[in-house]
Every structure is written in C-alpha cells, then in structure tokens.
Structure 1
Amino acid sequence: MNNKLVLPLTLAALAVLFIIQNVTVVEIKFLFWSLQMSRSLFMILLLAIGMAIGWFLHAHFQHKKENG
C-alpha cells in the first residue's frame, strides 16, 4: 500500500471511531439559549471555532508585526 495513503486512512478511521463512541446527545446551555446535539459534533464544532480564533489571532499579530 502507498505510504502516502496510510496516514489519511488511519486518521479517517480514528475520526470514525471518535464519532461512533461519542454519539450521546448532550444539552448545551449558554445564557438564554439551550441546544441539544451529539457530543462528537459539539467537540468538532469547538475545535473548528478554536482553529478559526487561532488563525485570526495569528493573522492579526503577523500583520501588526509587518506594519510595525
């Protein structure tokens, strides 16, 4: 098997296992809102939000560094 294919397939298998093991529905309460979703979807959403915040902060500080 191609070595470049092993890592993506392994990561995909781990992601599928993560989703299968975390299908429990949890309730998220924030201020006046209440939302129910699967635990795995909630964790993936938090990861995406964290990555977006990190990307924006990196771009902000990079721009600030270049412009003095």
Structure 2
Amino acid sequence: MRVKIAIAAVLLVLVSLFAVQNSQVVEIRLLMWTVEISRALLIYLMLVIGIVIGWFMRAIWRLSRNARQQ
C-alpha cells in the first residue's frame, strides 16, 4: 500500500510540474461553446476525469467479479 501512495505522490508532483510549466491560456471549443482556460487547469481537469473513470471501471470490474463468484 505504501508503494502505491509513493507512486501516486511522485506522479502528482510530475503532473504539477508539467502543469506549472504550461500555464498559457488555451481555447477549448466543443460544438457551439468556446471556453478559455489555463492549460494547467485543463491538465488537472483531465487528470481528475481520468482518475474518476478509473475508479468507476474498477468498481464495475469488482461488481462483475463478485457476481460471477456467487
């Protein structure tokens, strides 16, 4: 468990360094909407979305595994 926490901490530091070095404002277009946000915020947002998707996929995997075992 400590190894996972250490790896997560290192990855968080690397993402933070990458985001800070890419702080320019970018324009995001989706269909008819346009939003200007900093690239660092976009990087963090994509990281959070990836983590949430990973948690959901793991939960679905566990539920299906438990259903097969019963």
TM-score, normalized by length of structure 2? 0.68
Name the structure, 1 or 2, with higher relative contact order (CA <8 Å, separation 6+).
2
What letter corresponds to residue 59 of structure 1 in structure 2?
A
Point out 4+ residue stretches in structure 1 off by more than 2 angstroms: 10-20
What letter corresponds to residue 22 of structure 1 in structure 2?
N
Distance in 1 between the 2:12 and 2:28 partners? 27
Sequence identity percentage: 41
Residue 56 of structure 2: SS of its match in structure 1?
Answer: helix
Larger-Rg structure: 1
The gaps in structure 2 that reach 5 residues or longer are: 1-9
Residue 65 of structure 1: SS of its match in structure 2?
Answer: helix
| CA offset digits 1:46-67 (Å, max 9, x no partner) | 0100110011011011111101
The aligned length equals 61
1:15–1:60 CA distance, 2 compared to 1 (3 A): closer
Shift of 1:33: 1.5
RMSD over equivalenced CA pairs, Å: 2.6
